[in-house]
């Protein structure tokens, strides 16, 4: 939402609409929309039908039903018949049109715009600059890491006359992308964080990548960069330059020493003849670079050294994550306690709205940082947003919220301070609710989060929901138009979660979910999942429950078919959907191809059931040496299902492809595919390198560190030995957590502070020991067990198993955290 409004005709001009149909030429726009699931302020919204992984034109009617009456569409998709009384602008390219509008909007303001790009650290530097400069400026900044071809225009759209500084983040992944961003942003001050190996694939060389990133600063008055990342052959654009570095040779050259004892860095520099010294509690070099980068920007902006020093001292590590965790009193906690502003609040509310596992939705909200004269208008917006997102309870903290209490129609309580809230928290009786915790930094809401989160085992499996969505979309792009998608969420979604994953899949409109057993299906239904759910192995003793929860059985034998038919009441309202499994060569479950005529007779004998789908499972779809067999299975399935369909006289959905078959056998997609392990970031074959992202990270911590003398042994049965003397670290993960005993005695490796270190001795039930000789580590240090280079595939290979077993083996006592970045 922007406070500035534009007339629809003015917009038509700006975006170069080639055809215009206006029923309401006086319409004004202040909101950009592109996702029909997240419409706010629909009457003043302009919906851009973007074509990406999904074609926004398919969602025009949904947007229309949400109240949108203004649309921008592609020329060839111009279809207005079903959306009467609305305005239509037709353009050759909707994303480009959105960018033109953002560029136009940005030109309405002549205050400074800082643009940040680089391989890493962009978001941190943006957030830190926001924190450092806020005392003097009213800052508008990119929400989260909205830095793409779409994220940048949405960020710029937030600019309005109340602000006097913008901080915009820009990211690119291939050559040619920066130009469109530069045209929109036209920064006055450019900041390059660093250049690393992220997105190397999109560029011929690191120089090409650097040059492309620097294009953002073509017209900047000043560019701040670290010459270490920009080699001498590259001409840095911008009228003036300010350089910084760790070491020598820049305008701001900083000496950085790591003090191991105190676990902190000491930074020293000479600025305009004066020695400066700063100690900071960061343990990694990347944070130090980001901090020096902010220091340079403050110098460029004319800040005095004493102010710079005292503010840098206050910087804290930042988490841009929005985390979903288990809370106390049967709550789910969405922790977004780092920042609070309208745009990030809206993102968090959308995520809250996706959660259906509890009957109530509560928001614990602090005051937003804002100049006093705008308070009321701001809280009117917030009250409207909360109502629009179906929030039933508000707990407000801060003076402004308390003053505006009358605006909030839902059940609401207000406190002046976080301390006051914490003191009353138990009496509030927050239960059976999804709770969003959203507070400005100064309110210290991490304390509220700690009080409401269930504290368990320190070993944590972190599930990256962005990555999961990315993988889902990656597989969607492989599907032929109209092919349905079933997602396998059996075994706790391959170890990653239950309703947390199903919610996301439901939100992303997959067609079916599949579980192994009835209780898994019931758990999903109880969490508000309304998608059709197939149960693969429903025992006759569970049919009653299955029917009560509207789960759909897989039927694989005559005995099961008969048992199921007799458990259906004779006068059911409609035939019950079932799914027939055929065995085409896996020889696990399913009817034999020879059973066809008997099966037909049985199925036709009853009108209590209807065949919703018929499917089979491939035994070796990921193994090229068995491709002939796989093709035979596919052929057999094709003819069996054709005969069954003609015998039954009605259509059903046919499916046989699992993850590997989706990528390796496009001809086997039939009407639907069944996505499993690929969703979780593991491609089960290496035939086709899909750009999957890893979803799960398993991490733990060090409990104790011990010096070992030459000849000492470590652990049970004295199996562990070092070469000579050394140091071992005991960490909090064992075979009861799913870290197999087969990882013992050096077979398994974990990562500590960037070093891969081997296990020593046998893995114990709740712990194991690592050889950390020569590495500077402390108790409490984080240990990565799985994630990055320690992929599920890598771990599986080490102990001679498959990634499926690694993922599903992670025990339920390991705490799960779900996050969006």
Q: Which is nearer to ligand PLP, 109 or 687 (CB)?
A: 687
Please pick, among 144, 490, 608, 749, the residue that the annotation labels catalytic: 490
Rounded to whole angstroms, the Cα distance separating 683 from 479 reads 16
Minimal distance, residue 623 CB to ligand PLP, in Å: 12
What does DSSP assign to residue 43? G
Closest CA to 688 of 600, 621, 741: 621
Minimal distance, residue 673 CB to ligand PLP, in Å: 9
Rounded to whole angstroms, the Cα distance separating 226 from 253 reads 10
Q: Are 254 and 267 in contact (CB under 8 A)?
A: yes
Minimal distance, residue 554 CB to ligand PLP, in Å: 8
Q: Which is nearer to ligand PLP, 71 or 680 (CB)?
A: 680
Q: Residue 183: exposed, middle, or buried by beta-carbon count in 10 A (0-12, 13-18, 19+)? A: middle
Q: Which is nearer to ligand PLP, 261 or 587 (CB)?
A: 587
Minimal distance, residue 792 CB to ligand PLP, in Å: 12
Q: Which is nearer to ligand PLP, 122 or 617 (CB)?
A: 617
Rounded to whole angstroms, the Cα distance separating 782 from 732 reads 10
Q: Are 324 and 449 in contact (CB under 8 A)?
A: no
Q: Which is nearer to ligand PLP, 579 or 751 (CB)?
A: 579
Minimal distance, residue 677 CB to ligand PLP, in Å: 4
Residue of minimal Cβ distance to ligand PLP? 676
Rounded to whole angstroms, the Cα distance separating 349 from 354 reads 9
Q: Is 608 a catalytic residue?
A: no
User: Pairing state of beta strands 533-535 and 165-169?
Assistant: unpaired
What does DSSP assign to residue 118? S
Q: Count CA within 13 A, CB hemisphere, residue 216.
A: 33
Q: Which is nearer to ligand PLP, 633 or 659 (CB)?
A: 659
- Tell me which long-range contacts 740-745 makes (C-beta under 8 A, separation of at least 24): 740/799, 740/801, 740/809, 742/799, 742/800, 742/801, 743/768, 743/795, 743/798, 743/799, 744/719, 744/768, 745/719, 745/720
Q: Count CA within 13 A, CB hemisphere, residue 575.
A: 13
- Tell me which long-range contacts 412-419 makes (C-beta under 8 A, separation of at least 24): 418/366, 418/443, 418/444, 418/445, 418/447, 418/448
Minimal distance, residue 814 CB to ligand PLP, in Å: 21
CA angle 385, 386, 392 (to 5 degrees): 160
- The SS3 call for residue 318 is coil
Q: Which is nearer to ligand PLP, 369 or 577 (CB)?
A: 577
- The SS3 call for residue 20 is strand
Beta strands in 67-210 (DSSP E): 70-74, 87-91, 113-117, 139-141, 165-169, 189-192
Closest CA to 29 of 72, 73, 78: 72
Please pick, among 480, 604, 706, 716, the residue that the annotation labels catalytic: 716
DSSP bridge partners of 168: 115
Q: Which is nearer to ligand PLP, 15 or 684 (CB)?
A: 684
Minimal distance, residue 520 CB to ligand PLP, in Å: 13
Q: Is 716 a catalytic residue?
A: yes
Minimal distance, residue 751 CB to ligand PLP, in Å: 27
For 169, the token pair is 């983040």
Q: Which is nearer to ligand PLP, 397 or 518 (CB)?
A: 518
What does DSSP assign to residue 36? G
Q: What is the CA radius of gyration of the chain?
A: 29
Rounded to whole angstroms, the Cα distance separating 257 from 264 reads 9
User: Pairing state of beta strands 411-415 and 393-397?
Assistant: parallel
Q: Which is nearer to ligand PLP, 327 or 622 (CB)?
A: 622
Minimal distance, residue 674 CB to ligand PLP, in Å: 4
Beta strands in 661-746 (DSSP E): 672-675, 696-708, 713-714, 720-721, 726-731
- The SS3 call for residue 48 is strand
Closest CA to 380 of 406, 358, 354, 399: 406
Match 């990634």 to its residue by tokens: 803
Closest CA to 280 of 303, 256, 300, 307: 256
Q: Which is nearer to ligand PLP, 126 or 674 (CB)?
A: 674
Minimal distance, residue 148 CB to ligand PLP, in Å: 29
Closest CA to 667 of 699, 634, 642: 634
Q: Which is nearer to ligand PLP, 294 or 677 (CB)?
A: 677
Minimal distance, residue 658 CB to ligand PLP, in Å: 4
Minimal distance, residue 515 CB to ligand PLP, in Å: 10
Q: How many CB atoms lie within 10 A of CB 288?
A: 18
Q: Which is nearer to ligand PLP, 195 or 807 (CB)?
A: 807
Residues of this chain that interact with ligand PLP (CB under 6 A) are 488, 617, 658-659, 674, 676-677, 684
Minimal distance, residue 488 CB to ligand PLP, in Å: 4
Buried-exposed string 541-577: b where 16+ CB fall within 10 A, e elsewhere: ebbeebbebebbbbbbeeebbebbbebbeeeeeeebb
Rounded to whole angstroms, the Cα distance separating 452 from 469 reads 28
Active site residues: 490, 716
């Amino acid at each position: 939402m922007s406070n500035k409004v534009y007339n629809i005709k003015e917009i038509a001009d700006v975006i170069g609409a080639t055809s215009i149909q206006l029923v309401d030429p006086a319409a004004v726009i202040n909101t950009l929309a592109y996702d029909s699931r997240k419409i706010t302020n629909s009457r003043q919204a302009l919906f851009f039908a973007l074509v990406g992984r999904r074609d926004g034109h398919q969602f025009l009617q949904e947007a229309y039903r949400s109240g949108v009456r203004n649309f921008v569409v592609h020329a060839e998709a111009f279809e207005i018949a079903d959306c009467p009384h609305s305005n239509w602008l037709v353009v050759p390219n909707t994303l480009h049109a959105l960018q033109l509008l953002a560029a136009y909007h940005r030109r309405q303001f002549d205050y400074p715009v800082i643009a940040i790009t680089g391989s890493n650290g962009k978001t941190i530097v943006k957030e830190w600059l926001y924190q450092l400069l806020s005392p003097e400026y009213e800052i508008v900044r990119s929400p989260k890491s909205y830095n793409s071809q779409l994220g940048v225009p949405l960020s710029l759209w937030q600019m309005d006359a109340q602000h006097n500084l913008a901080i915009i983040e820009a990211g690119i992944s291939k050559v040619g992308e920066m130009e469109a961003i530069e045209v929109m942003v036209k920064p006055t001050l450019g900041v390059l964080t660093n250049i690393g190996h992220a997105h190397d694939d999109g560029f011929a060389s690191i120089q090409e990548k650097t040059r492309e990133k620097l294009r953002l600063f073509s017209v900047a008055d000043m560019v701040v960069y670290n010459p270490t990342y920009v080699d001498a052959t590259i001409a840095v654009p911008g009228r003036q330059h300010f350089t910084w570095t760790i070491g020598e040779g820049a305008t701001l050259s900083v000496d950085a020493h790591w003090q191991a004892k105190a676990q902190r860095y000491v930074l020293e520099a000479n600025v305009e003849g004066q020695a400066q010294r700063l100690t900071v509690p960061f343990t990694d070099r990347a944070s130090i670079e980001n901090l020096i980068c902010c220091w340079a920007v403050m110098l460029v902006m004319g800040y005095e050294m004493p102010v710079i020093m005292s503010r840098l001292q206050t910087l804290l590590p930042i988490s841009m994550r929005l985390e979903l965790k288990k809370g106390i009193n049967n709550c789910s906690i969405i922790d977004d306690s780092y920042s609070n502003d309208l745009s990030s609040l809206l993102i968090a509310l959308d995520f809250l709205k996706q959660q259906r596992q509890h009957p109530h939705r509560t928001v614990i909200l602090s005051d937003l940082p804002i100049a006093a004269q705008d308070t009321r208008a701001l809280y009117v917006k917030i009250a409207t947003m909360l109502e629009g997102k179906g929030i039933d309870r508000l707990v407000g903290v801060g003076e402004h919220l308390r003053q505006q209490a009358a605006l909030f129609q839902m059940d609401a309580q207000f406190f002046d301070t976080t301390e006051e809230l914490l003191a009353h928290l138990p009496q509030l009786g927050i239960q059976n609710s999804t709770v969003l915790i959203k507070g400005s930094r100064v309110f210290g809401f991490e304390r509220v989060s700690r009080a409401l989160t269930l504290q368990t085992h320190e070993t944590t499996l972190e599930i990256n929901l962005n990555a999961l969505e990315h993988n889902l979309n990656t597989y969607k792009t492989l599907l032929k138009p109209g092919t349905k998608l079933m997602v396998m969420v059996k075994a706790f979604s391959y170890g990653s979660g239950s309703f947390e994953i199903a919610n996301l899949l439901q939100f992303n409109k997959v067609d079916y979910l599949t579980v192994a057993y009835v209780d898994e299906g019931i758990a999903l239904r109880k969490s508000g999942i309304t998608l059709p759910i197939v149960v693969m192995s429903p025992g006759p003793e569970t049919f009653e429950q299955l029917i009560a929860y509207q789960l759909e059985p897989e039927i694989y034998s005559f005995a099961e078919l008969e048992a199921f038919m007799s458990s259906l009441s004779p006068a059911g309202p409609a035939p019950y959907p079932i799914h027939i499994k055929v065995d085409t060569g896996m020889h696990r479950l399913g009817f034999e191809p020879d059973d066809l005529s008997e099966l037909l007779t049985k199925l036709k004998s009853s009108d209590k059931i209807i065949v919703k789908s018929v499917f089979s499972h491939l035994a070796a779809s990921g193994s090229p040496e068995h491709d002939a067999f796989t093709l035979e299975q596919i052929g057999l399935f094709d003819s069996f299902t054709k005969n069954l369909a003609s015998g039954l006289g009605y259509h059903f959905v046919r499916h046989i492809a699992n993850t590997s078959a989706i990528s390796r056998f496009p001809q086997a997609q039939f009407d639907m595919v069944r996505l499993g392990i690929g969703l979780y970031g593991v491609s089960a074959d290496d035939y086709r390198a899909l750009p999957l992202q890893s979803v799960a990270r398993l991490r733990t911590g060090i409990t104790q560190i011990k010096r070992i003398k030459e000849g000492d042994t470590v652990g049970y049965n004295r199996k562990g030995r070092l070469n000579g003397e050394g140091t071992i670290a005991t960490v909090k993960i064992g075979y009861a957590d799913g870290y197999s005993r087969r990882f013992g005695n050096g077979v398994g490796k974990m990562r500590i502070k960037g070093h891969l270190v081997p296990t020593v001795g046998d893995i114990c039930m709740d712990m194991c020991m690592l050889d950390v000789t020569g590495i500077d580590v402390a108790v409490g240090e984080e240990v990565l067990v799985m994630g990055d280079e320690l992929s599920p595939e890598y771990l599986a290979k080490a102990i001679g198993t498959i990634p499926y077993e690694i993922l599903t083996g992670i025990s339920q006592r390991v705490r799960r955290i779900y996050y969006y970045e």
